[in-house]
Chains A and B, each alone.
Chain A
Amino acid sequence: MADFVLDRLNQALLSAMESDGRVYILGEDILDPYGGAFKVTRGLSTRFPERVLTTPISESAIVGVANGMALRGLRPVAEIMFGDFVTLIADQLVNHAAKFRWMYNDKVRVPIVVRTPMGGRRGYGPTHSQSLEKMFLGVPGLKVIAPNTLGDPGELLKAAIADDDPVLFVEHKLLYNRPLLEPGQGDLTEFELEQSGKTYPNYLLRIPGHTAQLTIATYGYNFELARAAALDLLMEHEIFAEIVLFSQLSPFDLEMLFGSLQNTRKLLTIEEGTQSLGWGAEVIARAVERDNELGGYRFRRVAARNLPIANSRMLEEAILPSVHDIVQSALSLVH
């Protein structure tokens, strides 16, 4: 039986707590038997009752306390129950956690991890379905990391906990019950993989033996859609796409993408946040800046429409990017 993303994250938290007594978990409703709204913290409070702290419903307090713990040498992992509530922690992250190292000239570090489930497609309505990570991209001193089904989400989380700087760890809620992919199996049968050897690896998927006609860049759950689209392009249209899958969203680390883009000259970015001033906009801006002497490049973004996510499931689907949107955008780039 395949491993699921949820299990890997849960095991990673357990393993981090076992191996390092400085690791604490804080958040709302995270104690057993409930084990957190998405069960990522299940079993932890039973095993380590003194290091799993249930908190009042005050997100800024959760991250504020975590910052204080981190400043005094602990390694807190804060859970924000829904990613939509990151607006409430913006001050603690942007004005405090991300800056202290600079303000105190490296005398202090703030090794906190803020984990939070983002994303829609569950019918949770406008305030529990958003992908707000774009608001935290480019904040100096703050890393934004997103797991996916290709890499090991547990290793990624452990790397974030071991990181001496603050990390916002964005878990798309549809990933939890997704099985991890196995290279050469299932959806990956037609792809060969390359991995950038970094703490937070990025991946390149290419179809061997064929010249790619476009590059698709994405992260997190939207890799599931991008992969389905790439397979549709391959099987229905015989169009060969390379996918560059990011684990690290910010700071921007685009070398692998630029390598692919140099060959294809066509870039499609996929994200679930709203399109304006999003991740794709910055990726494309950097690609253009890097190579703006060269002509013949084409770019497109697939993202959520610039609207709040609707309560109605049908309208939600219409607002969020679909495999069909990706395929159509890819066809328009290539033709």
Chain B
Amino acid sequence: MIKSEILVPLLNANEPEARLVEIHVKDRQSVEKGLLLFTIETTKATTEIESPSAGFVRLLAIKGAMLLVGERLAVITDTAKEEISLSSKGLPPSSPVNDIRITKPARALAKLLGVGLTALPHDRLVTEEIVRQTAAGLQKMDLELPPSRQPYL
């Protein structure tokens, strides 16, 4: 169970963010109330953040990250291993590497021409031109001609 959340505090009315400059604990470490957890910094000052309660600290941000006021730095849980389902900010996004990169007009054209996204190349940006070439290649395949391997330029 999450006992407490540790959020980025507002240190300066003019600054909506702060940088996490130091993490003084390890993920899942057992902590006492008052233990120094983080040092955060705005352009005006650095501030130390202590644990608000005893428990196990679960880190949700990485050293050096620029975080908005109110974002979670960590939560304190009852046990070291329990699941926590929170979106962590400041951590690198976990988007799949093989996501297709396709422009909006190209996506619309692919739909119009009945070209599935799986038929389009995943190693480069897909433009309308590539969709047209892929569609032409697919038609050739229908006629049992070998698919062109270099149709995209």
A→B interface (CB under 8 Å) = 1-2, 4, 37-39, 122-124, 176-177, 189-190, 207, 209-210, 234-238
Task: Tell me whether A235 and B153 are in contact in the complex, defined as CB-CB below 8 angstroms, given that A1-B62, A122-B15, A190-B125 are known contacts.
Answer: no
In contact, B104 and A235 (Cβ under 8 angstroms): yes
The number of chain B residues with a CB under 8 A from chain A is 20
In contact, A37 and B43 (Cβ under 8 angstroms): yes
| B103 at the binding interface (Cβ < 8 Å) | yes
In contact, B19 and A177 (Cβ under 8 angstroms): yes
Contact of B127 among A1, A2, A176, A210 (CB under 8 A): A210
| B106 at the binding interface (Cβ < 8 Å) | yes
Contact of A238 among B17, B62, B101, B128 (CB under 8 A): B128
Within 8 A of A (CB), among B78-111: 101, 103-106
In contact, B127 and A238 (Cβ under 8 angstroms): yes
Give the residues in chain A near B105, CB-CB below 8 Å: 237-238
Give the residues in chain B near A123, CB-CB below 8 Å: 14
In contact, B104 and A237 (Cβ under 8 angstroms): yes
| B66 at the binding interface (Cβ < 8 Å) | yes
A38 to B12, CA, bound (A): 13
Task: Tell me whether A177 and B66 are in contact in the complex, defined as CB-CB below 8 angstroms, given that A38-B43, A190-B125 are known contacts.
Answer: yes
Give the residues in chain A near B106, CB-CB below 8 Å: 238
Give the residues in chain A near B41, CB-CB below 8 Å: 39
In contact, B64 and A1 (Cβ under 8 angstroms): yes
Give 5 new A-B contacts, CB below 8 A, not counting A122-B15, A210-B127: A1-B63, A122-B14, A177-B17, A234-B125, A237-B103
Give the residues in chain A near B14, CB-CB below 8 Å: 122-124
Q: Which residue of A lies closest to B125 (CB)?
A: A190
Task: Tell me whether A236 and B19 are in contact in the complex, defined as CB-CB below 8 angstroms, given that A1-B64, A209-B153 are known contacts.
Answer: no
A177 to B40, CA, bound (A): 13
> What are 15 A-B contacts defined by CB distance under 8 Å?
A1-B64, A2-B64, A4-B64, A37-B43, A39-B41, A122-B14, A122-B15, A123-B14, A176-B43, A177-B17, A190-B101, A235-B103, A235-B104, A236-B103, A237-B105
- For the complex of A and B, list the 10 residue pairs with the smallest distance between their C-beta atoms, beginning with the closest: A1-B64, A238-B105, A238-B103, A236-B104, A177-B66, A38-B43, A235-B103, A190-B125, A123-B14, A238-B127
Give the residues in chain A near B19, CB-CB below 8 Å: 177
Contact digits for B3-44, partner A, Cβ 8 Å, 1 yes 0 no: 000000000001101010000000000000000000001011
B126 to chain A, nearest CB (A): 10
Q: Which residue of B lies closest to A232 (CB)?
A: B104
Give the residues in chain A near B128, CB-CB below 8 Å: 238
A176 to B42, CA, bound (A): 11
Within 8 A of A (CB), among B118-139: 125, 127-128
Give the residues in chain B near A39, CB-CB below 8 Å: 41, 43
Q: Which residue of B lies closest to A177 (CB)?
A: B66
A8 to B104, CA, bound (A): 37
A199 to chain B, nearest CB (A): 29
Give the residues in chain A near B66, CB-CB below 8 Å: 177
A177 to B125, CA, bound (A): 30
Give the residues in chain A near B43, CB-CB below 8 Å: 37-39, 176
Give the residues in chain B near A236, CB-CB below 8 Å: 103-104
Contact of A234 among B15, B17, B103 (CB under 8 A): B103
A2 to B63, CA, bound (A): 10
A209 to B19, CA, bound (A): 39
A2 to B41, CA, bound (A): 17
Give the residues in chain A near B127, CB-CB below 8 Å: 210, 238
Give the residues in chain A near B125, CB-CB below 8 Å: 190, 207, 234
A163 to B37, CA, bound (A): 44
B62 to chain A, nearest CB (A): 7
A179 to chain B, nearest CB (A): 8
Give the residues in chain A near B153, CB-CB below 8 Å: 209
Give the residues in chain B near A4, CB-CB below 8 Å: 64
A232 to chain B, nearest CB (A): 10
A235 to B103, CA, bound (A): 4
A183 to chain B, nearest CB (A): 16
